[in-house]
Each structure stands twice: as structure tokens, then as C-alpha cells.
């Protein structure tokens, strides 16, 4: 799929702007603080209906204004599709003229894979970042996963309240049951997504000079058979004492993680910066491949300010691997990329000029 155009109104430092994209390569360049990332953020809004940069929509509202509107036209394998996001004190999202009742209905509609400058966090940081990666990935190919996840976190919150307040402990059995039935579904899907990544990831680098073997290892918080609900409940029961002390649930998918190995070496502990970069490039590219395989449509690839960080070898591998997709790249220096249908845009103080 690709985005044909986007119209921004009162979004960040854009007052009113229309950008027409190439279905292939788009390079957006300009000095710092001009509005390049703001464009990537606006496009990515259509993936989940939210900003990946801030918690509150209102932060993206142009200073001094009381609403913002972003509209986009996509070309998907099912044909043209238009979407609109309008935010004032409320938010409304429309797809092909129909108002969505819930934001979660948007997930899976427009698929995108994004690289941001802090992408090494995926390896270096705590498990939360990796859970977010795997959750966003599976949600794009399986909308039911996203729904289960929302329900799981709702139940988790209620169970945590009971543990904290200790006044409704007789309801715990009910919460355990609900948590476990949603939990096992989530674990099962995470396991199969990680298996799928493992199948795909090493095919990607095969013909390049980046031939290190990568393997992901799912490390669920539930020990033993994580697809067995009774086992899940048993573990909840046996950690109840500690849970009451801490006032929170200590077992379940909200505590899952996965480890990444490169040639059998744990990359978080022993990998070099360069190896981490290769690893994440391949991980993201396999995400693209799997989304394409499962949905029949290539996702849009958004690269915010990362190309300049790559050395020659990785850059070549990367540019070679993304030829079949729509790519939107931002950079501070004008990049010369030898790809057909390449549009170049210069951004200056919230104005976008196609060169
Ligand atoms: N809510 C907002 N209203 C108006 N301007 C904003 C808002 N949020 C950020 N900006 C402006 O946007 C610019 C940063 O845009 P950004 O896309 O991050 O820059 P870059 O080109 O470096 O990627 C800054 O000039 C900042 O002041
Ligand atoms: Mg930026």
C-alpha cells in the first residue's frame, strides 16, 4: 500500500499543507526543527489513531489553535481509501466517510513500519519496548489480538485494584479466570509471531554481506506451558502472597520479554552498536515481509533520521531491501538515492517544497 497524499491543518508547526507522495521513494530533508518528524508523525497517526511521540493528542495541536485535522488518501490492494482524523477537545476518525466508533477499528487498516532515531532501545532498554514492538506488529496482522490485549489490560487493572485495596479478595477467582483466558491467547499469538520472525529474518540478509544468524527467544513470564490456562491460574495462586505485598499482578503477558541472539550470542549483553543496528534492520524488514505475507499488501516504511547513522555496508543492504515498498525518509542533508520514482522535498519552517 502507499499514501498518495496528506493534508495537514494546524498540526504541530503546519498551518495548512498538502503533500503529494511518490508511491516509491520519498526523501524529506531540511535543518533541525523544521518539521520533518512532524510529517512522519502525522502519517503514522493513521496506523493507530494516536501519536507515537506523545501521550496526549493536544500536544500535536499547533500552538494557539483549537483543533487539528489530518486527512490522507491511501492506495491499498483493495483500492483507494481515505481517512480523516479530527482533534479538538474530542477526537473523531473517519475511514471512507464512515465515522469509527472505536479507535481500535483503525488498527490494521493502514499498515506501516517505522524506524525512529531511538530504535536501538528495542535491544538496549527494558522489556516494555520489546512488548510494544511485538504488540504493534501482531495487531497489524491480527486485529483480534489488539482487542484481546485491550481487554487483558482492563482486567489486569481491575485485578491490581483488588490486590491493592484488599477489600474484595473474594472476587479474585473471577479475575484470575478472566486474566488467564485472555493471557494464554496473547502468549500463544506472541509465540507464533516470534516463530514466524525466526523463519523469515535470516532469509532477508541471505544475499547481502550481513549474514549473521539472528534468533529471537520468547521468554514468557508464565513458566511451563503458557498455553495452558490451568497452569496460568496455578501460578497466579502461588504468587498471591507476594502480589498482595506488592499490590500488583506479577505473572502474565504484561511481564513477558524476548531475547535476541546473533550467531548464538546474546546481543543485548555482548553485541556491538553495529551488530545491534543490523539486527534491528533485519527485524523491521522481516516485520514488513510478514505483514505483506499475511495481509497481501506491503506496509509503508517510515524512516526518521536513521539513514545517516548507517555505515556503507548496512546502508547498501537496507536500500537494496526496500525497493518494492513506499518509503518515506527524513534526513538533514539531501540524500542522493538512486531509485526510480524518487521525490525530494525540502522542509523549512513548516513549509514543504517539492524539488
Ligand atoms: N504543538 C506545536 N505547535 C507548533 N509548533 C510545534 C508544535 N510542536 C512542535 N512544534 C515545532 O515543530 C518543530 C520541530 O519539528 P520536527 O518535525 O520535530 O523537526 P525536525 O525537522 O527536526 O524533525 C519545532 O520548531 C517545534 O517548535
Ligand atoms: Mg526530526
Higher pLDDT, 209 or 216: 216
Rounded to two decimals, the pTM is 0.93
Contact 41, 52 (CB under 8 A): yes
Would the pLDDT of 205 be above 80?
no
- With residue 348 as reference, give the H or E element that holds it: strand 342-348
Q: Which of 141, 127, 150 is nearest to 50 (CA)?
A: 150
Would the pLDDT of 317 be above 90?
no
Atom of ligand 1 at shortest distance to CA of 39? 17
The ligand with the least distance to the CA atom of 31 is 1
* Span 301-328, average pLDDT: 88
Domains for the chain: give ranges and CATH numbers.
Answer: 1-111+297-355 (3.40.50.300), 126-276 (1.20.1050.90)
What is the per-residue pLDDT across 63-93, written as a single tens digit (0 to 9) for each? 999 999 999 999 999 999 999 999 999 999 9
Pocket of ligand 1 (CB under 6 A): 12-13, 30, 32-38, 60-63
Predicted confidence at residue 341, as pLDDT, reads: 86
Range name among 145-149, 202-206, 339-343, 349-353 with the lowest pLDDT average:
202-206
* Span 199-221, average pLDDT: 88
What is the per-residue pLDDT across 90-125, written as a single tens digit (0 to 9) for each? 999 999 999 999 998 999 999 999 999 888 999 999
- The cell numbers describing 210, all together, are 550481513
Q: Which of 106, 91, 115, 1 is nearest to 46 (CA)?
A: 106
Q: Which of 15, 11, 2 is nearest to 110 (CA)?
A: 2
Q: Which of 7, 16, 28, 3 is nearest to 343 (CA)?
A: 28
Ligand 1 centroid, distance to 38 Cα (angstroms) = 6
The ligand with the least distance to the CA atom of 13 is 1
How many CB atoms are located within 10 Å of the residue 18 CB?
Answer: 11
Predicted confidence at residue 336, as pLDDT, reads: 78
Per-position b or e across 55-65, b if 16+ CB within 10 A of its CB: eebeebbbeee
Would the pLDDT of 156 be above 80?
yes
Would the pLDDT of 50 be above 80?
yes
Average pLDDT value for the chain? 94
Predicted confidence at residue 321, as pLDDT, reads: 86
* Span 48-60, average pLDDT: 94
Would the pLDDT of 209 be above 80?
no
> Could you tell me the pLDDT band of residue 307, with boundaries at 50, 70 and 90?
confident
- Per cent of the chain over pLDDT 90 is 85
Ligand 2 centroid, distance to 331 Cα (angstroms) = 8
Amino acid at each position: 500500500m502507499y499514501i498518495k497524499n496528506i493534508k495537514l491543518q494546524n498540526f504541530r508547526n503546519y498551518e495548512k499543507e498538502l503533500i503529494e507522495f511518490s508511491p516509491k521513494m520519498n526523501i524529506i530533508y531540511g535543518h533541525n526543527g523544521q518539521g520533518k518528524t512532524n510529517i512522519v508523525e502525522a502519517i503514522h497517526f493513521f496506523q493507530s489513531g494516536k501519536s507515537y511521540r506523545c501521550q496526549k493528542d493536544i500536544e500535536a495541536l499547533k500552538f494557539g489553535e483549537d483543533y487539528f485535522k489530518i486527512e490522507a488518501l491511501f492506495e491499498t490492494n483493495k483500492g483507494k481509501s481515505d481517512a480523516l482524523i479530527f482533534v479538538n477537545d474530542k477526537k473523531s476518525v473517519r475511514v471512507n466517510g464512515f465515522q469509527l466508533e472505536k479507535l481500535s477499528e483503525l488498527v490494521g487498516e493502514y499498515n506501516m513500519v517505522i524506524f525512529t532515531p531511538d530504535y536501538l532501545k528495542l535491544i538496549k532498554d527494558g522489556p516494555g519496548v520489546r512488548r510494544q514492538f511485538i504488540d504493534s506488529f501482531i495487531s497489524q496482522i491480527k486485529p483480534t489480538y489488539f482487542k484481546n490485549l485491550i481487554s487483558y489490560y482492563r482486567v489486569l487493572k481491575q485485578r491490581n485494584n483488588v490486590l491493592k485495596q484488599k477489600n474484595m479478595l473474594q472476587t479474585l477467582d473471577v479475575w484470575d479466570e478472566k486474566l488467564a483466558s485472555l493471557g494464554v491467547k496473547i502468549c500463544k499469538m506472541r509465540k507464533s509471531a516470534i516463530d514466524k520472525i525466526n523463519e523469515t529474518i535470516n532469509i532477508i540478509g541471505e544475499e547481502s554481506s550481513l549474514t549473521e544468524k539472528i534468533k529471537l527467544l520468547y521468554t514468557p513470564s508464565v513458566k511451563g506451558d503458557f498455553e495452558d490456562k490451568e497452569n496460568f491460574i496455578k501460578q497466579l495462586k502461588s504468587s498471591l502472597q507476594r502480589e498482595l505485598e506488592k499490590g500488583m499482578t506479577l505473572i502474565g503477558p504484561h511481564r513477558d520479554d524476548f531475547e535476541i541472539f546473533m550467531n548464538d550470542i546474546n546481543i543485548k549483553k555482548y553485541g556491538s552498536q553495529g551488530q545491534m543496528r543490523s539486527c534491528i534492520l533485519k527485524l523491521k524488514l522481516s516485520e514488513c515481509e510478514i505483514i505483506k505475507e499475511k495481509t497481501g499488501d506491503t506496509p509503508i516504511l517510515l524512516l526518521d533520521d536513521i539513514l545517516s547513522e548507517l555505515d556503507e555496508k548496512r546502508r547498501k543492504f537496507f536500500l537494496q531491501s526496500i525497493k518494492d515498498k513506499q518509503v518515506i525518509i527524513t534526513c538533514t542533508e539531501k540524500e542522493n538515492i538512486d531509485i526510480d520514482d524518487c521525490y525530494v522535498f525540502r522542509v523549512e519552517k513548516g513549509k514543504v517544497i517539492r524539488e
